[in-house]
Structure 1
């Protein structure tokens, strides 16, 4: 296990759940596994997995879980100090799987002093572009590229900047670009938008999504005797939404909740943006059947979109990947449109006013076959079925073999 430095350390326990006993046990298991590997003497592909955003864990975790049991790989997981502080769930989930993450500072990652890449054979990031929000993985990937280390980034959203989404960003000049040598997409490369640059398309490799299609049902921290639950997801912090959109969305949520008092509306803000947490005054007159799942409050911090989707009766969302996650879970879902052109979400129901909200919710209660067929068509448009994680690992292993063969023969790889 790499030695800790002043700025690169093994993640400490972050809350009561990640207690000293769990921490000690995870370290012991990791050391035993490392010792067993060294005794076998078989060369392994040393993979570094980097996470910096709250939502990274959901797409990365299935990959690292499989790598743990695949003898072809030796795994190092690195997280930033910001992520470790803001989302204790990340370290908790890793430790539960005997994965002891290394913590580096954002500054060191951007400056190029961390993480150590001297013995690394491949780098995986959950999300990497030249947008300021992704500057940590972008910096690490560029360092790895300079060392001729294969780099892999995942399609992390249905509307993925630089890949499937091309609207300008006020805090970024010029086109959004990815530096990774391989971009792992959810759907067929030939189905990507024509706006994607030729250099981007040339590096794309279709695998599907590593996230499980059927999230497990969990017990939400709600009253046990409540009726139907509609999860309402908002990422209203996004610059694409006008004040008119935001006002209409909030107004219709309040009106519809008042019109259906037997239904619980579980309002889930984006884990990072938290628009309706920061602007909670907009909910001052909300009906009692609207429950705000504030991710900064301990009871709700562990509940990501996937966990909630698997435990509710229907989903309403602002435009986001939540729509695809729900469709893959065969959970009825509708998208709030309010004048935004949303062809990528067709043929899902697009909500434009309180009446369309109510029509959707009432249609769910009668198990509409039309809605189920829409869900299937939508998910088939955007995701290749099958073992995405297996395809990812096989691609990394094939690249490693190709590079190893080239080095042994003296060829340029």
Structure 2
């Protein structure tokens, strides 16, 4: 990429297209216009799509902290598009983003790992960022610019098409989804005519949308031209809004001087905003006792004003904030006050309010912060009593201060200055190797996961591969981490490199890094829930990459289990090898020959136990806790089975009131918490876990098992997991033939529920149950030791046979 500005296209990703949001105006729209004046091309969007990256030379993400943003940054970096993240707040204070599952700071650190530069508003914020990310990414200081009516008008024009496109794109997206689904369902018929018809329909919709956009843009342009000479602001709507909000009004003399405070009312995470006025309450009340003044508060929380500011002994008035109306309010003001608590959040704020006030001809008295150092001599700092008095009583002094401030402001914060600083940033990242490919992005082995339970099987293999000198990366399904955020947290904690892959990934030469020779999927088959890993595997096969998958459950479709829906004769695997837990005696008798030939017996790589994690509920450490697990595949069971299962839990809760029963639904099935419409167990000693709740989303079955004295489960891998820890285990078998679970206890009627718990409470009988668990494991699993090594050895051995 050269430095000729007319050849450079910059993409701006924001959280909103609402120009009323200060960070959108100052950190995206004003810089966008400044670079446009220098000859750069710009695109702006809020919706994350891969197509947005096409033809971009630089991607700028402005104060947006979603996993979509990280995915976009990751994709951009992979395509050689340098990423700049712009930050204007200290998001690292403890309270910032509290209540969110993933804090903005966590997401920022993710994005910074693939960013080429970070831009911030002030030196204190730069220092904070550098302390968090080190010297790996350059941090540039770009102050907020100057806001004026001309710029406000220009940004509305620049936002018109993106806003229109956002609304018109909805039917386009719906049509595309319709086309994709139809193609998937009917593709087996190879109907070129059908596909052509759908394509033509989409083209017509696209053409109509484009023509509509052009027409609306022309009309908008005419409206702007017609109103160019009209006043952009008026006070009347604002006064009406204030009255509507119920702000009490006080009588004020016509010649009263106006003391203006404006800004965001504040937030729970820091001491800033409207409450800063309380810092200078004494000074304001003293001045009001001597001079005819009115305090005008322009903000966005009339309730806070009524409660905290109105009671001050100074005439005051509240006005709801609007960017378009500020010009008139500045014209009426005699002085602007900007006090600050200078806490860890406020100390990082920019000078934009002071700059805006002085640009509009109003002198300022402010608390001195690092961002305001350049305005020394033009602003009175930290002396609100004398400063306000002097500006109100000495018009000539106030005017001279403003003129001095304007000269500084024009030089430091004008559009030309902001554009030149951004030009420096762009030059800096261009002169780097912007297409640098980190070692993590060009691995030997890809491990693909898309279900929460995949992680426990993947990590031991990753650790062994790393031990043997293979560079590894985890590919995670985007939709999976949105549904189960704990997957990403676990991978991050493991410190293995990872990449988020969208469901609609493109199969081309750039999909797989050049050095990759193997793809290991934890779960892969032709079932719809496994389509992500199946399509990845098919693509890898196409490019000559060795592919393998794993047995991921004790009753594994296509290997050790079959029913009317998941008939083993219809299950296919694209992978070249399937790593199984047990010997051939554990396979289903009807296993397909082609599947059998792919099986490699290695044992179970999943560890017996994982790091101990406290439960988010208060349970007496001395009490007996029994886990009851219901699994994903409820279609396997009859209505009688489901009814007996619920009745059995109710029976135990009543029979053993001093035992705590924790019911754990499967993370994907969620039958009892989401699909079951009947009456659920409601007893003091029964706790039903909701895996989707923030308290339990990070608690897997493996985390739960060490807390349990016994396990009762529907037929599932939980029986095996519990037995590996020598936990007494019973499988609910009403109406089912479960010989493959022998010699574990089987619950066939209501009596068996209570009898099993009675055995658990008897020390001698409990020992016998523990021995049953050990015998079960010896029968169904190969030696656990070395399973991960055998998998990695097989992968390395097949590198010779699968060269790209």
Cα distance in 2, alignment partners of residues 115 and 347 from structure 1: 51
- Secondary structure of the corresponding residue to residue 106 of structure 1: coil
1:141 equivalent in structure 2: 537
Q: Which residue of 2 aligns with 1:242?
A: 638
CA distance in 2, matches of 1:365, 1:18: 48
Listed as ranges, the gaps of 5+ residues in structure 1 are 39-43, 408-413
Alignment of 1:33-112 (within 5 A): 46-71=444-469, 73-108=470-505, 112=507
Secondary structure of 2:654's partner?
helix
Tell me how far apart the structure 2 counterparts of residues 237 and 130 of structure 1 sit (CA, whole Å): 17
Distance 1:370 1:99 in 2: 41
SS of corresponding position for 2:480: helix
Which of 165, 184, 189 matches 2:584?
A: 189
Distance of 1:58 and 1:131 partners within structure 2 = 22
Contact 1:207 1:391 (8 Å CA) reproduced = yes
Q: Give the match's secondary structure for 1:267.
A: strand
RMSD: 3.1
Task: Give the alignment partner of residue 103 of structure 2, picking from 7, 10, 16.
Answer: 16
Structure 1 Cα separation of the partners of residues 595 and 723 of structure 2: 27
Asked whether the equivalents of residues 663 and 687 of structure 2 are also in contact (C-alpha less than 8 Å), the reply is yes
* Paired residues of 2:558 and 2:568 also in contact (CA < 8 A): no
Aligned position for 1:6: 50
2:757 to 357, 361, 376: 361
Deviation digits for residues 256-282 of structure 1 (CA, Å, limit 9, x no counterpart): 111101100000001011111115664
In structure 2, C-alpha distance between the alignment counterparts of 1:147 and 1:229, rounded to whole Å: 51
SS of equivalent residue, structure 1 residue 378: helix
- 1:126 equivalent to 2:525? Answer no
Q: Are 1:395 and 2:786 an aligned pair?
A: no
What SS does the aligned partner of 1:77 have? strand
Question: Quick one: which of 622, 646, 656 aligns to 1:260?
Answer: 656
Cα gap change, 1:216/1:361 in structure 2, threshold over 3 Å: closer, same or farther? Answer: farther
C-alpha spacing 1:36/1:390, structure 2 compared with 1 (3 Å): farther
Q: TM-score, normalised by structure 1?
A: 0.85
Between 228-237 and 320-329, report the one with greater CA deviation. 228-237
The DSSP-based 3-state class of the residue aligned with 1:183 is strand
Please state which structure has a larger fraction of its residues in helix: 2
Determine the structure 2 residue equivalent to 1:410.
none
Q: In the alignment, is the contact (CA less than 8 A) between 1:104 and 1:114 conserved in 2? A: no
Contact 1:80 1:105 in 2 (8 A): yes
- CA 1:202 to 1:58, structure 2 compared with 1: closer, same or farther past 3 Å? same
Residues 518 and 795 in structure 2, CA contact (< 8 A), matched pair in contact too? yes
Distance, in Å, in 2 between the alignment partners of 1:68 and 1:397 is 12
Contact 2:451 2:480 in 1 (8 A): yes
For residues 357 and 292 of structure 1, the distance between their equivalents in structure 2, rounded to whole angstroms, comes to: 18
Counterpart in the other structure of 1:210: 605
Q: TM-score if structure 2 supplies the norm length?
A: 0.45
Q: Secondary structure at the match of 1:205?
A: strand
2:82 counterpart residue number: none
Please give the secondary structure, in 2, of the residue aligned with 1:107. coil
User: Which has the greater radius of gyration?
Assistant: 2
Question: How far apart are residue 165 of structure 1 and its match?
Answer: 0.8
CA contact (8 A) 1:332 1:371 kept: yes
What is the match of residue 369 of structure 2?
A: none
Are 2:554 and 1:158 aligned?
A: yes
Unaligned ranges ≥5, structure 2: 1-47, 52-70, 76-84, 86-99, 115-132, 138-435
Structure 2 equivalent of residue 41 of structure 1: none
Q: 2:601, 2:510 → 1: CA distance?
A: 28
56 and 315 in structure 1: CA distance in 2 versus 1, 3 angstrom threshold:
same
